[in-house]
A = this chain, B = another copy of it.
């Protein structure tokens, strides 16, 4: 079969499997998930061996150490994958839930019923655990899924996907509900992104380059975020001790992720007392500071920021710092340079807290808390499949519910429509 007909056949098979998945009840899905967790633990040795193949090849091809790190599966990675799968199993099942039901004057009872989206395509890089996380979240929501991982994780992904199919087969669910595109040619992604008759949604996970490629070529709706240029604004009159804790956490706790702070905005009146102590603590943790001219006047060790720094997603121990006149200037800065991802204010002022929350156009807006809380698990949605910074369908962290939609169900006793 040609590459094109192989991918088309996969998409058609996924659509058929999605029909079966949408009708199978919560207990069967959860049984499959529980079995999958067991299989993961039992097959740890096999997974580690297959991962080793990828790591050896990656080493030879000179993959960066950060990429090697993402690619590596350890025994504890497998334990944590299995635990994640069991947690997804324990979450409430979204399918069939009626959300809001009302009666019309003519007696019709109207409700919205939650239903699966259908077929979801996940296109991702490196991290093999996405194979398990993404597959399980999609299955929990009653969908079928087509996975296309990075070629550097080929053996690891094949091993993991094999377990998923086995778990489905063993528990009587359609094995085609989870399929892996094993064609390494990038043309396979191109073809996948054109199957809009059979695939309902594409979720890319990886660097900005991958995501732009997917958006550019997809004929299917895409949920994604390009990058997280997250801001913390320290307001006039803020508790400066609290501000220091929050900024340190937002920058240093895990600098390589999308909800880490990249730019700190400080109200002019607090800058002289706040910045030297904050900078000292950050610099002791290895953070390089790039400041506006006024920041550089206050701090001894400070590189001047250039125009490239304000929109930058460093994903590293680097922080841009700008002193602002007031909250309006902070909000304006965020609106120009931000990425609609995550923004926080540290303030003691009721009215400004309210205004910040209303006026900042980001998927998660926080008052007196770290940007690091933009995460499905941390916000209480359970496991997440990613974060969306575009507004259609989902804005912010996407959990199981965001992998579903609702239809209207209407119960009558013979109603017909009058008038026009």
Contact = CB atoms under 8 A, between A and B. Distances in A.
Copies in the complex: 2
Contacts of A407: 361-365, 395-396
Contact of A392 (B362, B397, B405, B414): B405
B246 A391 contact: no
B392 A379 contact: no
Contacts of A359: 23
Contacts of A367: 409-412
A343 to B, nearest CB: 10
Given A358-B23, A373-B410, A392 B391 contact: no
A370 interface: yes
A392 B395 contact: no
A420 B129 CA distance: 15
Nearest to A118: B391
Interface in A311-369: 335, 353, 357-359, 361-369
Contacts of A254: 420
A104 interface: yes
Interface string A206-242: 0000000000000001000000000000000001001
A115 to B, nearest CB: 8
B368 A411 contact: yes
Contact of A366 (B96, B246, B248, B412): B412
Nearest to A335: B19
A370 B414 CA distance: 8
A213 to B, nearest CB: 14
Contacts of A412: 366-369, 373
A62 interface: no
Contacts of A370: 415-417
B102 A414 contact: no
A378 interface: yes
Interface residues of A, number: 66
A372 interface: yes
Contacts of A393: 392-393
A110 interface: yes
A34 B370 CA distance: 43
Interface string A20-38: 0011000000000000000
B245 A364 contact: no
Nearest to A353: B411
B104 A409 contact: no
Given A372-B416, A417-B378, A410 B366 contact: yes
Interface in A218-277: 221, 239, 242, 245-246, 248-250, 253-254
A373 B417 contact: yes
Pairs A-B, 9 closest by C-beta atoms: A369-B412, A249-B416, A372-B417, A393-B393, A391-B405, A242-B414, A366-B410, A364-B408, A369-B415
Interface of A: 19, 22-23, 96, 102, 104, 108, 110, 113, 115, 117-118, 200-201, 221, 239, 242, 245-246, 248-250, 253-254, 335, 353, 357-359, 361-370, 372-374, 378-380, 390-393, 395-397, 405-417, 420
